[in-house]
Amino acid sequence: MAVSIGACGLSHGNWRLPPASGSHPRSWQWLGFHSGGGHDGQASLDALKYVYCFGPVPFYVLGGVLLYWFPITARRHDIIRRRLHQRQQRAG
């Protein structure tokens, strides 16, 4: 899916917000980004790009740490499947 950056702003390509809605996260305002019709400078658009790129990184790291601390071995997989099967039988 192609996203037009020039038509309604970079933030609205993925969020599907109307161009002048002002309903973007406040952290974007702290970076200098305002969705008021294309009056943002290159620095604010670059900051927004970095937020999109590096914003999810802490969640990926947390997921990796959890998988490292709680690995799903064959034994744990069998336990999880058995518990899910028991839960399904009780529910229906």
pLDDT given for residue 17 in this prediction: 47
Here the tokens at position 24 are: 């973007």
Per DSSP, the three-state class of 70 is coil
Residues 37 and 20: beta-carbon distance below 8 Å: yes
pLDDT given for residue 33 in this prediction: 67
Q: Which residues have a Cβ under 8 Å from the Cβ of 66 and sit 6 or more positions away?
A: none
pLDDT given for residue 45 in this prediction: 77
Residues 12 and 35: beta-carbon distance below 8 Å: yes
Q: What is the pLDDT of residues 14-64, one digit of tens each?
A: 555 444 445 566 666 666 666 666 666 787 778 778 888 888 999 999 999
Q: Please tell me the pTM assigned to this model.
A: 0.46
pLDDT given for residue 20 in this prediction: 47
